[in-house]
Amino acid sequence: MMKTVRISDVTKDYGRVKAVRGASFELGQGELVALIGHNGAGKTTLMKLMLGLIRSTAGSIEVLGDNPAAGQFAGRRQLGYLPENVSFDAALTGRETLAFYARLKREPVASALKLLDAVGLGDASRRRVGTYSKGMRQRLGLAQALIGHPRVLLLDEPTTGLDPELRQTFYEVIQRLATEGTTVLLSSHALTELEERAGRVIIMNRGVKVADGSIEKLRNIARLPTKIRLKV
Ligand code: ATP
């Protein structure tokens, strides 16, 4: 399997706060991986490192064959990111919102608008975002992250606060993307039945990677940190 992301012994300190401590893992093309951990575990920091938004204190990061923090990072356009708690202008319609992001990313507006159908917002595309439910806004966020057909998709807690049915729908969309070859990393506070459907689960606890593998493999680990309170 081709590796799209390589994290090797990465540490990130924010002053005295050690957000990530010596984490290593690789992600393959078409892999759907759930990144699990409580608040402050280091999930967002790992994503920002992969995006090149921040630099590591130690260790190396390679995304699509390059260092994402390098000035001339060629893979930037092939990364999609849905930040935690993304918010949109309530006065714009779904179409206007995506057109805005397409222009920002210098991608064709017409192909960006097709993504509204792909995430099931086709019928609502001419409605103002202010009238959207939380689930619809999250799907709009996903469509925004998909502009330019990224090879690596980083989704920061996209299903938090969604009801089970919406979480399910959201998951189906990203499972399809992974099947089509996109690397999808999805973070979450909890390991529920939904995250268990990801091919692989990485568990972070206070900046340390404490488990990594298929859910079957994790079930066989006798003593996971009690702080994680897994529902396995
Ligand atoms: P959450 O579920 O709250 O998003 P997380 O697992 O994404 O948690 P991070 O946001 O990566 O965790 O935070 C890891 C640690 O780093 C936390 O202790 C946090 O307070 C700290 N931290 C994050 N960003 C900064 C920053 N810019 N300056 C100082 N400390 C930070």
How far does residue 151's CA lie from ligand 1's centre (Å)?
Answer: 26
Longest dimension (CA), the chain: 52
174: enclosing H helix or E strand: helix 164-179
Ligand 1: list residues with CB < 6 Å.
14, 17, 19, 37, 39-45, 84
208: enclosing H helix or E strand: strand 208-213
Chain segment 188-200, per-residue pLDDT in tens: 988 887 788 898 9
pLDDT < 70: residue spans in the chain: 220-232
How far does residue 44's CA lie from ligand 1's centre (Å)?
Answer: 7
Judge contact between 16 and 168, C-beta under 8 A: no
pLDDT of the residue at 143: 94
155: enclosing H helix or E strand: strand 152-155
What ipTM goes with this model? 0.96
pLDDT of the residue at 220: 67
Residue with CA at minimum distance from ligand 1 atom 27? 14
Ligand 1 atom nearest to 48, measured from its CA: 11
Chain segment 14-32, per-residue pLDDT in tens: 999 999 999 999 999 999 9
How far does residue 12's CA lie from ligand 1's centre (Å)?
Answer: 10
Closest CA to 86 of 124, 122, 134, 43: 134
- pTM score of the predicted model: 0.91
pLDDT of the residue at 232: 37
Instruction: Locate 190 and state its tokens.
Output: 């909890």
Backbone torsions φ then ψ of 134, nearest 5 degrees? -60, -45
pLDDT of the residue at 118: 87
pLDDT of the residue at 40: 92
Other C-beta atoms closer than 10 Å to the C-beta of 232 total 12
